[in-house]
Structure 1
Amino acid sequence: MSAPANTAQPRRALVVVDVQNDYDGGNLAIQHPPFRDSVVNVARAMDAAAEAGVKVVVIKQMAPETSPIFAKGSHGGELHPEIAGRSRDHYVEKTLPSAFTGTDLEAWLRANAIDTIAVVGYMTHNCDLSTIIHAVHMGFAVEFLSDASGSVPYANSAGYASAEDIHRVVTIILQSRFAAVLKTAEWVDCLKTGALPERDTIFASNQRALARNAA
């Protein structure tokens, strides 16, 4: 159950997921990493992609007018100004967590010979996670910029988890199988140097944890 091999020279697209105003102090305010920090990294990734000739896809979550979040026609549902004001090569509206479900994203990526997607945006544990797993199942390699994303806390019948816990655990899980997890600055360096980000496996990740616990 090892990670899919990355290509020697990946043909990347940057997929910018749901960077909308409700996450910026609105009805679903991102807590960790803080939105004010992570959105700067989203913008940095978009600028670096444009400079490197990497295509940029912007995704927007859609919801009915009565929804408490991302309501159609609401300020909270609109793209954040940092993203809305930047150039993009493709735009996708979605109604479910994965950016692939019910959209033309897969067809557009394949038409542009993309084999690797770099995911930024919100939320780490919901739409990012869903999009990443979906992409892997379709044969794409994935990169995830952990400081250009974020989470919120949850409490429900299953228990409580802080935003920091959720974000940290999901990034560890992603690195173990589904994506190469790295910081925005590291990703920008990869674009400039051609270096490939580190990938891992379930087995190796587990073995390290067992060795750590035994120490």
Structure 2
Amino acid sequence: MSKQALIIIDVQNDYFENGALELVNPIEASLNAGKVLEYFRKNSLPIAHIQHTSANPEALPVFVEGTHGVEIHENVKPIAGENVFQKNYPNSFRETGLGEYLKENDITEVVITGMMTHMCVDATTRAAFDFGYKCKVIGDACASRDLEINGKTIRANDVHHAFLAALEFFYAEIKSTEEFLSV
């Protein structure tokens, strides 16, 4: 039988209005992540909060320790007893205790929410799959931003859906919050 854990990636204040790296629709994504979080709390299932901290704040002044921006957003704030893993890389497994935590709890399936879809959600989902976990990404509980390449702007909605489509091709099952909670 599958045993699930929730991974909430980088839902931090710097991604919200007036933050250092504002995303498109972070409130909606965080509210949906909060609904999934409540489901895991209600069912006493393992929860892993991931918090990015800047390894080099001079290069990119985002998620700087001691600032409001680095704090986990109030919509998914950890409560006593919930694990918070700090990371410095897009992959939530790299140089954190996340992998050990999942093994200690005999987890076979991870449910992933968070920010940014095209970076840390993508990297963590692919790593989780490579470590042997069945992955579900809650697409509407994730958010992205506009990206630019070769003078072209790719809209956040397109970035978000392209990365979800790529993950669903091989690495993960993509669900909406409503679909996940209705099972």
- For 1:126, the equivalent position in structure 2 comes to 119
Which residue type is aligned with residue 3 of structure 2? R
Cα distance, 1:79 vs. partner? 1.0
Unpaired runs of 5+ residues, structure 1, are 1-8, 191-215
TM-superposition CA deviations, 1:67-115 (whole Å, max 9, x none) = 4211111111111112225455321000000000011111110111001
After the TM superposition, which residues 28-39 of structure 1 pair with which residues of structure 2 at under 5 Å, given as runs? 28-31=21-24, 34-39=25-30
Distance 2:48 2:165 in 1: 25
Distance 1:73 1:47 in 2: 27
After the TM superposition, which residues 63-212 of structure 1 pair with which residues of structure 2 at under 5 Å, given as runs? 63=54, 64-66=56-58, 67-84=60-77, 86=79, 89-157=82-150, 159-190=152-183
**8 Å CA contact 2:136, 2:173 repeated in 1:** yes
Which residue type is aligned with residue 111 of structure 1? E
> Relative to structure 1, is the Cα distance of residues 37 and 88 closer, same or farther in structure 2, using a 3 angstrom cutoff?
farther
- Calculate the aligned-residue CA RMSD, in Å: 1.5
**8 Å CA contact 1:58, 1:88 repeated in 2:** no
Cα distance, 1:139 vs. partner? 0.6
**8 Å CA contact 1:92, 1:103 repeated in 2:** yes
- For 2:4, the equivalent position in structure 1 comes to 12
> Relative to structure 1, is the Cα distance of residues 24 and 82 closer, same or farther in structure 2, using a 3 angstrom cutoff?
same
Which residue type is aligned with residue 142 of structure 1? C
> Relative to structure 1, is the Cα distance of residues 183 and 87 closer, same or farther in structure 2, using a 3 angstrom cutoff?
farther
Is the counterpart of residue 40 in structure 1 residue 31 in structure 2? yes
> Secondary structure of the equivalent of 2:29?
helix
Distance 1:44 1:88 in 2: 19
Cα distance, 1:10 vs. partner? 1.6
**8 Å CA contact 1:59, 1:91 repeated in 2:** yes
> Secondary structure of the equivalent of 2:90?
coil
Identity of aligned residues (%): 25
- For 1:193, the equivalent position in structure 2 comes to none
Cα distance, 1:65 vs. partner? 4.4
Unpaired runs of 5+ residues, structure 2, are none
